[in-house]
A and B are shown apart, each in its own frame.
Chain A
């Protein structure tokens, strides 16, 4: 399966803990997007990364949230000291970075903060 893989699918964290969400892009894709989605709401852009570079992080909260896409391995979205308001579905998409092509989505990670 060469699709976008996200893990874990479900993640439960207590307030104050750290959450790490992983995304492996489609084979051949070097660009990754992260989105957050609250129930009954649309996709909210968070960050756009290329291998080893953050291209656009205009949607990322200034504190507690960080993202990386290392040369080797998956992209990681890290949320430190989670709060209940961080509970949401986090989706990753990948593209080949070229204009005029589609982005492919993973199945998402559903984070629940208790």
Chain B
């Protein structure tokens, strides 16, 4: 659903461990999802996306999993590094209807990597 002015949940991970960041979405008709990374003082940047005809997609050190049954997305980061410290947002952009499509963002999760 839409983000609201709430404080971000935080995930602390030891350097070298794997990180899993979760996101629940609200629109059962959504068929396209994106993960963004926002470093301190910068705008969100695209990391990886997935369409609803897939349940898993892998990139470099990142994997996105999609569970349409429970409307849940997760982002897995392998061998987490200090440079991964950032806020991570999931977003959905349904493509199933006509007219404009509004990208909707989740609240975000702050990832802190402990050296």
Contacts and interface: CB of A to CB of B under 8 A. Distances in A.
Interface of A: 4, 31, 33, 35, 38, 40-45, 48, 50, 55-56, 59, 91, 93, 95, 97-108
Given A40-B7, A91-B43, A103-B103, 18 more contacts: A33-B102, A33-B103, A38-B5, A42-B3, A43-B3, A43-B44, A43-B89, A91-B44, A99-B94, A99-B97, A100-B93, A101-B95, A102-B34, A102-B49, A102-B93, A104-B46, A105-B36, A105-B43
Query: DSSP majority for the B interface?
Result: loop
Contacts of B4: 42, 44
Contacts of A44: 3-5
B53 to A, nearest CB: 11
A67 to B, nearest CB: 15
